[in-house]
């Protein structure tokens, strides 16, 4: 009902939606966009607000819609940045690694939220993004498949590969959870 | 030369070298992706992975809720567009103008409705289509035909009888005391509806239906003794 109330203009309902989704949105953007996460989250919410009245669907669909917008904003941001800078830069884990601690350091420190995100950022981009959408955003495989433009089976395979890699990292000696 | 390969049925359950043991943990990985708890018998690496993911579902830490004020401000702006913002369009003067405009429109509609009803009633009165009491009222006020007169007028107009071709007036019309005016002398008191039927028809009183009761003229309209 929160979504319907927010669509009707209820400010408290919208604030509740924001508080529910913003952390996972930021965690997702921190991995795939690094330092631009805050700005991209703000742009995402602006676009969501402008289209909120016309949105049709439940809260799960709303979350999938919001993360789709966030992903598109990130892609646009990466393209514009690539145009501004003559040298093309990779988006995603490579970018996130610039602001995240080194993987070797990550596995040595306590795996808190930021450390887990940093570990995820070491994965290939598609695997990292799919794991974030599945685990952090809480979306199911078909929704993630629609967002990233893959089949649900491909999403499952990529997620499994990424999880196995992460398990290997976390299983290294000296790593404590 | 070797013979043909062994049929697949003779080589059951030979795993691919690179995938040994991989399929077994697929359900566990699905549990992790669905944020479901793993069984205690799961490999240590997967248990550690699931535990680390638990932190991702914790409430936001400090610094994880930036932009809330900006988002709420944008939401307020979107929910209250400029045309309905109280500082602009919702001012008392604007609301008064809107109320005045709405009141004027309602008044105009009411006046138009009254005019249409009155003119419709007047037309019906001249056509003699009103109920007797209303027809009588119309007879007094605007000179519409009297009720009995109107009934015969309407009847005659609707069913022209043999022997009375066209729209000849009813005999009762001519014999009515109210219509026994001096031939050729118009009586302004009865208005237009009556004026059109005085004179010519009053000269030729006929009693085509003598059995019909003679309508009484309106007492207040009873003319004086006929002039001789």
pLDDT tens-digit readout, A130-159? 999 999 899 999 999 999 999 999 999 999
> What mean pLDDT do residues B12-17 have?
46
For the complex shown, is ipTM > 0.85?
no
B64 touches chain A (CB under 8 A): yes
User: What's the pLDDT score for residue A171?
Assistant: 66
pLDDT of residue B161: 46
Q: Which residue in the set A24, A52, A167 is minimally distant from B45, CB to CB?
A: A167
Q: Which of A163, A168, A175 to mutate to test the interface with B (most CBs of B within 10 A)?
A: A163
Chain A residues lying within 8 Å of B52, measured CB to CB: 111, 116, 119, 166, 170, 177
- Interface contact flag, A42 B59, Cβ < 8 Å: no
pLDDT at B117: 81
CA distance A34 to A24: 14
Asked if residue A104 has pLDDT above 60, the reply is no
Confidence of residue B62 (pLDDT cuts 50, 70, 90): low
Which residues of chain A are within 8 Å of residue B33 when distances are taken between CB atoms? 131, 134-135, 141, 159, 163
Average the pLDDT over each of A4-8, B61-65, B179-183 and give the range with the smallest value. B179-183
Whether B68 and A112 lie within 8 Å, measured CB to CB: no
Asked if A11 lies within 8 A of B76 by C-beta distance, the reply is yes
Pick B91 or A72 by higher pLDDT.
A72
Give yes or no for B44 touching A (CB within 8 A): yes
Residue A48 has a pLDDT of 94
CA B59 and chain centroid, separation: 53
DSSP string, chain A: -HHHHHHTT-HHHHHHHHHHHHHHHHHHHHHHHGGGHHHHHHHHHHHHHHHTTT--S-HHHHHHHHHHHHHHHHHHHHHHHHHHSSS----SHHHHHHHSPPHHHHHHS---HHHHHHHHHTS-HHHHHHHIIIIIS---HHHHHHHHTS-HHHHHHHHHHHHHHHHHHHTSTT---
- What pLDDT band is residue A110 in, cutting at 50, 70 and 90? very low
pLDDT at B181: 44
User: How far A126 CA lies from chain B's nearest CA (Å)?
Assistant: 15
Kindly report whether the global pTM for this prediction surpasses the value 0.80: no
Q: Say whether residue A167 is in contact with chain B using an 8 A CB cutoff.
A: yes
- The alpha carbons of chain A give a radius of gyration, in whole angstroms, of 17
pLDDT in tens, A41-63: 999 999 999 999 889 999 999 99
Choose the most confident range, by mean pLDDT, from A40-44, B79-83, B99-103, B121-125. A40-44
Residues B28 and B38 sit within 8 Å (Cβ to Cβ): yes
Residue B185 pLDDT more than 70?
no
Q: What is the pLDDT of residue B95?
A: 60
Test mutation, B50, B68, B75, chain A, max A CBs within 10 A: B75
Residue B103 has what pLDDT?
Answer: 77
Q: How do residues A58-70 score in pLDDT, each as one tens digit?
A: 999 999 999 999 9
Give chain A positions within 8 Å (CB) of B79.
9, 11
Report, as an integer, the average pLDDT of B98-115: 80
CB contact under 8 Å between B68 and A19, yes or no, is: yes
Task: State the nearest Cα–Cα gap between B87 and chain A, in angstroms.
Answer: 18
Q: Which residue among B29, B35, B49 places its CB closest to the CB of A170?
A: B49
Say if residue B83's pLDDT is above 50. Answer: no
Indicate the pLDDT class of residue A177, thresholds 50, 70 and 90: very low
CB contact A120 to B (< 8 Å): no
Q: Which residues in chain A are contacts of B29 at CB distance < 8 A?
A: 159-160, 163-164
Residues of chain B with Cβ-Cβ distance to A50 below 8 Å are 78
Confidence of residue A84 (pLDDT cuts 50, 70, 90): confident
Mean pLDDT rounded to a whole number for chain A? 82
- Given CB atoms, is B18 within the 8 Å cutoff of chain A? no
Structural domains present in chain A:
2-170 (1.10.1740.10)
B71 touches chain A (CB under 8 A): yes
A91 has pLDDT over 80 = no
Residue B109 has pLDDT above 90, yes or no: no
């Amino acid at each position: 009902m929160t979504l319907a109330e927010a669509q009707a203009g209820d400010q408290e309902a919208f604030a509740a939606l924001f508080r529910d989704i913003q952390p996972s949105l930021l965690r997702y953007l921190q991995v795939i966009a690094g330092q631009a996460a805050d700005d991209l989250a703000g742009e995402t919410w602006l676009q969501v607000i402008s289209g909120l009245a016309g949105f049709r669907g439940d809260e799960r669909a709303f979350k999938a819609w919001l993360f789709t917008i966030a992903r598109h904003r990130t892609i646009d941001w990466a393209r514009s940045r690539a145009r501004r800078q003559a040298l093309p830069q990779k988006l995603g884990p490579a970018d996130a690694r610039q602001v995240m601690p080194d993987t070797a350091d990550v596995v040595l420190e306590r795996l808190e939220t930021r450390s887990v995100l940093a570990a995820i950022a070491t994965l290939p981009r598609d695997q990292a993004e799919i794991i974030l959408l599945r685990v952090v955003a809480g979306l199911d495989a078909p929704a993630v498949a629609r967002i990233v433009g893959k089949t649900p089976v491909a999403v499952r395979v990529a997620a499994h590969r990424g999880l196995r890699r992460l398990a290997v990292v976390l299983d290294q000696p000296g790593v404590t959870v | 030369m070797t013979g043909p390969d062994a049929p697949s049925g003779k080589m059951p359950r030979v795993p691919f070298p690179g995938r040994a043991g991989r399929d077994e943990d697929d359900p566990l990985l699905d549990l992790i992706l669905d944020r479901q708890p793993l069984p205690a018998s799961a490999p240590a690496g997967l248990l550690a992975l699931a535990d680390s993911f638990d932190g991702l579902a914790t409430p936001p830490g400090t610094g994880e809720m930036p932009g809330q004020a900006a988002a709420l401000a944008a939401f307020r702006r979107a929910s209250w567009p400029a045309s309905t913002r109280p500082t602009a369009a919702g001012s008392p003067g604007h609301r008064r103008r809107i109320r005045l405009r709405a009141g004027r429109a309602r008044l105009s509609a009411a006046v138009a409705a009254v005019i249409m009803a009155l003119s419709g009633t007047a037309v019906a009165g001249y056509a003699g289509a009103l109920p007797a009491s209303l027809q009588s009222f119309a007879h007094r006020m605007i000179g519409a035909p009297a009720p009995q007169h109107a009934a015969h007028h309407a009847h005659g107009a609707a069913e022209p009888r043999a022997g009375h071709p066209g729209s000849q007036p009813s005999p009762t019309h001519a014999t009515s005391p109210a219509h026994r005016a001096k031939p050729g002398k118009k009586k302004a008191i009865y208005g237009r509806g009556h004026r059109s039927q005085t004179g010519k028809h009053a000269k030729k009183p006929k009693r085509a239906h003598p059995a019909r009761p003679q309508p009484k003229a309106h007492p207040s309209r009873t003319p004086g003794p006929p002039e001789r």
